[in-house]
Amino acid sequence: MKKIFAMLLVLTMVFSLMAMSGSAYADDANKLTVMAWDANFNIPALEAAAAAYQKVNPDFELEIIQQPGSTEVEQAVTLAASSGDLSTLPDITLFQDHAIQKFVRDYPDAWNTLEGADINWDDFGAEKLSYSTFDGVHYGAPVDNGTAIFAYRTDILEQCGYTVEDVTGITWDRWLEIGREVKEKTGFALLSMDHNGNDLPYMMMQAEGLSQFVDGKPDFANESLKKIIEVIVQGAQDGSIILANNWSEYTDSTIVGDQVAGVMNGNWIIPTISLVEANSGKWALTTLPTINGGEGYAANGGSSLYITGNCQKVDLAREFLAYTFGGGEGAIETYDNALLNGGVITTCISAGSSDVYMEGFDFFGGQAIYADIVAMGANVPVIEQNDFHYQARTYIGNAITNIINGGEVEAELQYAQELLEFEMDI
């Protein structure tokens, strides 16, 4: 019954799109349609881009078709491409970075490339471009920056005699020592994570320049991942890491509820941290610890814009994307307003040097956090990605739970790998 209900919802969405095709996808020489899903985040970024491009093309119109979430966008592409009728798709669609590769591979006719667009690809971090580039061909224009940050409560650290510099470039073992001391002296954990989503191992591995996959196969029993899992388990047992049961508990209880003196996640977590006005001026952000020491860089989340196979104005779409998100003359205006109105941080390195980005953020003690995040993003290493990224996340999370409950690290990771290999049919 649930499956039938879900399919009915999908079909309703698709029929709605088809019904709009006469107006939303009208054949206007200066009009483009785009599908996105977040009224408070990426949609303000699209509106900022449209306003910037209208400076050089006053007749330009961008119609934004809002969906409830990224899943609905993926379903729309799947149904259109699998049916062989792309007419239900808009000209451009936003797509999650971790999801796009499977869709380009499975439905190559559903997309137009960005080849020929006036974009300086060297102005973007290699890791960000790795999601949207296939066989050396660029398909997507990067939008939001998923660079991971480690934010710390400076006042809590100071109670234990530490500064942000003392937690920058350190080993995870040293971090655990500091975490135990912070917990004992202040009652605050030094980190929390949504254990249901469980992005922590992925980010920690990427900071090592490593993936959970090697040559298309899961590689869970490697020494680095074992060490990372041991750090997470030890932190959970010490109380320096809180593994929340779900997203709401993670954000509302541990972060907004003022239980943690540290937050490590994609930079999109900053608005959540900033909800506690009483802590304004008490935060600072830095890079991630690593196994052997040294500053670690990672990313979590992010999306890009793709021109669909239904677009009849490919040149206009390429020009619009190049001028705005692609680092053209309108990039600074686009990304300044995207940041101010929706919190979207540029992935375009040159746009991160504007006055808006260089301005200190009072909540973080006057630190120019946005310029720092852009600079950090340029250092995120490219690692192997896989269509089973989310399944890997689930199995590794289950392994962590089992280890905390008494399981042996190597055996649990091997079992998690076997489960994923079975699902991948390898």
pLDDT score recorded for residue 24: 41
Strand partners, 191: 241
Q: Are 210 and 383 in contact (CB under 8 A)?
A: yes
The domain limits of the chain are: 2-146+302-353, 160-298+382-424
370 φ/ψ angles, rounded to the nearest 5 degrees? -70, -40
Q: Which amino acid is at 262?
A: G
In the chain, % helix, strand, coil (3-state, to 5) comes to 50, 15, 35
Intrachain domains 2-146+302-353 and 160-298+382-424 with the same fold: yes
Which of 293, 172, 298 has its CA nearest to residue 238? 172
CATH number of 160-298+382-424: 3.40.190.10
Q: What is the dihedral of CA 237, 229, 396, 265, to 10 degrees?
A: 90
Q: Do the strands 217-218 and 213-214 form a parallel or antiparallel pair, or are they unpaired?
A: antiparallel
Tokens representing 375? 């600079």
Which of 183, 178, 233, 181 has its CA nearest to residue 204? 233
Q: Are 413 and 217 in contact (CB under 8 A)?
A: no
pLDDT score recorded for residue 6: 45
DSSP string, 35-84: EE--TTTHHHHHHHHHHHHTTT-TT-EEEEEE-SSHHHHHHHHHHHHHHT
For the chain, 426 residues long, the average pLDDT of each consecutive 10-residue run is: 43 44 58 95 96 98 96 96 97 96 96 97 96 96 96 98 98 98 98 95 98 97 96 98 96 97 95 95 98 98 96 98 98 97 94 96 97 96 94 97 97 98 96
**Cα end-to-end span (Å), the chain:** 31
pLDDT score recorded for residue 278: 97
pLDDT score recorded for residue 7: 43
| pTM, 2 dp | 0.87
Query: DSSP state, 22?
Result: T
CATH number of 2-146+302-353: 3.40.190.10
Beta-carbon contacts of 152 under 8 Å, excluding residues fewer than 6 positions away, are 164, 167, 190, 261, 262, 283, 284, 285, 286
pLDDT score recorded for residue 254: 97
Rounded to whole angstroms, the Cα distance separating 413 from 75 reads 32
